[in-house]
Amino acid sequence: MGIDPADWNRVAWDRQVARGNRWTRPVDAAAIAAARRGDWSVVLTPSKPVPRDWFPPLAGLELLALASAGGQQAPLFAAAGARVTVHDLSAAQLGQDRAVAERDGLALRLESGDMRDLSRYRDGSFDLVFHPCSNAFVPDPQPVWNEAFRVLRPGGVLLAGVTQPVRFLFDEKRLEQGELVVRHSLPYSDLVHLTEAERAAFVAADEPLCFGHTLEQQLGGQLAAGFVLTGLYEDREPDCALDRRIACYLATRAVRPR
Ligand SMILES: C[S@@+](CC[C@H](N)C(=O)[O-])C[C@H]1O[C@@H](n2cnc3c(N)ncnc32)[C@H](O)[C@@H]1O
């Protein structure tokens, strides 16, 4: 196909904002007002709220929202008292966070960049990294785990959402029609497993390119980076035929040991 996935995905996510994709729609002013009173809830995966006891107290916390722009979580964290940096590839997605910050008088640091390269941040500069289901947009998640570990201080927490490998086995078009047809193998890549015609249709629909990682890459990758896993739950996409049979998403809590 001859394109870098990050180059394409930057454009694709900019266009998803224009298309109103669910993961590009910011929270409203009422949600920000509630968060200022301590009443907030966020997701790492499609539906289930992240347990509040997965978070340290947010007041004064240095928090990195990694590949998590779109105005859904970062402004809530800022309203609840955290010092928030949003690091994301898409200018339009960062623009959604900027719009909320300007509307509601919040301080957010917005950084345009690839999730695999956090070299602009010093070692140990964050207390919490919040990383929702976004590593399906890079071919290899290991650099993300390694960089998250490096920028967290000892004792710091990584909260991540990941897609289960099984989600990538099935023919996507047939799945949209409720049919479960096994077609692919893992690790999965839109660049390798789709036909030219299918990729062309993806590109025409401004869809980001996706990659399906194994559990060894997702959970083993966090452990290999040096993290200790301290929490895990499963979640489902409500309208997906496969999710009715198996939860296709995982959320993990991991700690950088002291
Ligand atoms: C599904 S959205 C996640 C954001 C959303 N706030 C959420 O709750 O899940 C995926 C995000 O990953 C970002 N992204 C995709 N590839 C990236 C990369 N290589 N580096 C950094 N961000 C990337 C997109 O711009 C988009 O904002």
Task: From 219, 198, 220, select the one nearest 209 (Cα to Cα).
Answer: 198
CA dist 9 and 149 (Å) reads: 24
pLDDT above 70 as % of the chain: 99
pLDDT in tens, 181-217: 999 999 999 999 999 999 888 889 999 999 999 999 9
Whether 197 maps to a domain, the answer reads: no
Read off the CATH number of the domain in which 123 is found.
3.40.50.150
Whether 142 maps to a domain, the answer reads: yes
Amino acid at 161: G
Whether 171 maps to a domain, the answer reads: no
Give residue 199's pLDDT: 86
Per the structure, the count of domains in the chain is: 1
CA dist 150 and 146 (Å) reads: 6
- Burial code of 18-47, b = ≥16 C-beta within 10 A, e = fewer? eeebebbebbeeebbebbbeeebebbbbbe
CA dist 225 and 219 (Å) reads: 10
Whether 201 maps to a domain, the answer reads: no
pLDDT in tens, 68-121: 999 999 999 999 999 999 999 999 999 999 999 999 999 999 999 999 999 999
Give residue 77's pLDDT: 98
CA dist 94 and 86 (Å) reads: 8
Residue owning tokens 């998590």: 68
Amino acid at 198: E
State both tokens at 5: 């996935």
Q: Is 114 in the pocket of ligand 1 (CB under 6 A)?
A: yes
Measure 24 CA to ligand 1 centroid, in angstroms: 9
Amino acid at 51: P
Whether 206 maps to a domain, the answer reads: no
Give residue 17's pLDDT: 97
Look at residue 244 and tell me whether its pLDDT is greater than 60: yes
Give residue 3's pLDDT: 66
Measure 9 CA to ligand 1 centroid, in angstroms: 9
DSSP state of 218: I
pLDDT in tens, 136-189: 999 999 999 999 999 999 999 999 999 999 999 999 999 999 999 999 999 999
E strand or H helix at 255: strand 249-255
Amino acid at 112: S
Whether 172 maps to a domain, the answer reads: no
State both tokens at 13: 């996510």
pLDDT in tens, 14-23: 999 999 999 9
> How much is the average pLDDT of 1-30?
92
pLDDT in tens, 212-240: 999 999 999 999 999 999 999 999 999 99
Whether 188 maps to a domain, the answer reads: no
CA R_g for the chain: 18
Q: How many CA atoms lie within 13 A of 98 on its CB side?
A: 11
CA dist 71 and 42 (Å) reads: 11
Give residue 1's pLDDT: 47
Nearest Cα residue to atom 5 of ligand 1: 68
Q: Is 100 in the pocket of ligand 1 (CB under 6 A)?
A: no
Q: Ligand 1: which of 134, 159, 209 to mutate, judged by most atoms within 8 Å of the beta carbon?
A: 134
Measure 104 CA to ligand 1 centroid, in angstroms: 23
Measure 10 CA to ligand 1 centroid, in angstroms: 9
Whether 13 maps to a domain, the answer reads: yes
In sequence order, the β-bridge partners of residue 234 are 250
Look at residue 2 and tell me whether its pLDDT is greater than 80: no
Compute the Cα dihedral for 12, 13, 18, 21 and give only its sign: positive
Q: Is 90 in the pocket of ligand 1 (CB under 6 A)?
A: yes
| Domain assignment of residue 227, given as a range | 5-163+213-255
CA dist 41 and 143 (Å) reads: 28
